[in-house]
Each structure stands twice: as C-alpha cells, then as structure tokens.
Structure 1
Amino acid sequence: MFGNKKNSDGDRFIVTYQQGTLQQIKVIVDKKTGVNYLFTINGYGGGLTVLLDREGKPVITSTVDNSSY
C-alpha cells in the first residue's frame, strides 16, 4: 500500500515523498480527500500522523496528478 510509487487508478493513496532506507520518512496523499500524512518507519516500529501546516491545520493537496507518481 505505502511501499510502491507506481499506483494504479484503483489505489487510494499515493507516496509523494520518500527519504531514507532503514529509517524511512514518507509523505502519503489520500487521493479522495487530498489530506497529506507523514509515515515514519524505524526498525520494527513506525507511525502515521496527519501532516500539519504551521497553523496546525491539515495539509491538503487540492489536485493530485497521478501521472507523476
């Protein structure tokens, strides 16, 4: 679900940013709502949270261009 940048039209989430190998950080966008999530992996642990802007509001991507992912 979150590991592959190549997504078909049926997938709801797109990985828009990825950094690291053992300690990974990913930004995932919900194609239906546009909400951005921060996903972290470190060894056997990980976490997922809504990505917030400096005002504490969720970061929302207005349009998601599937061709670039």
Structure 2
Amino acid sequence: MANSKDRFKKIYKQGKMTVTEIWVDQVTGINYLYHVDGYSGGLTPLLDRDGKPVVSPVVNGCQEY
C-alpha cells in the first residue's frame, strides 16, 4: 500500500492486459507515461505539444490535485 513517503504516485490507469498508466514524481512534479503489453513495457516522460515535460504543481513535497 502506498504511503506519504512514496516518491511516485499513480494518478491514472487504463486496461487490464495491456496497461497504460500515468505516474507523477512527487518531488519534481514531472508526469511519466508507463505502458506494458505482455512481457514488454516502457516508461517515458509525458510531453506537452511543445515537447516539454508535463509538470503538476508540488506543494510541500506532495502533489496537489
């Protein structure tokens, strides 16, 4: 189970066999896209239309939603 000291927080999940998730680094606020299908998967920063990382606001070391 996640606790307040975990650095990454899952904020979105889609799928059961083929899974797409969005994880947020609670220190930097950078969003990451994680995708897994079978035995392969990948993690990459989530980028906006200008090619810059999507950053969520961070308040006192914790995500604000």
Residue among 8, 15, 24 paired with 2:10: 15
SS where residue 8 of structure 1 aligns? coil
1:56 Cα offset (Å): 0.5
Which structure has greater strand proportion? Answer: 2
Residue 28 (structure 1) aligned with residue 41 (structure 2): no
Which structure has greater helix proportion? Answer: 1
SS where residue 58 of structure 1 aligns? coil
Q: Which whole-Å CA distance do the structure 2 matches of 1:58 and 1:10 have between them?
A: 23
Q: Within 5 Å, which residues of 2 pair with 1:23-62? A: 23-62=18-57
SS where residue 35 of structure 2 aligns? strand
Q: Which segments of 5 or more consecutive residues in structure 2 lack a partner in the other structure?
A: none
Q: Percent identity?
A: 44
RMSD: 1.3
1:26 Cα offset (Å): 0.2
Q: Which whole-Å CA distance do the structure 1 matches of 2:26 and 2:2 have between them?
A: 11
Q: Which segments of 5 or more consecutive residues in structure 1 lack a partner in the other structure?
A: 1-5
**TM norm structure 1:** 0.83
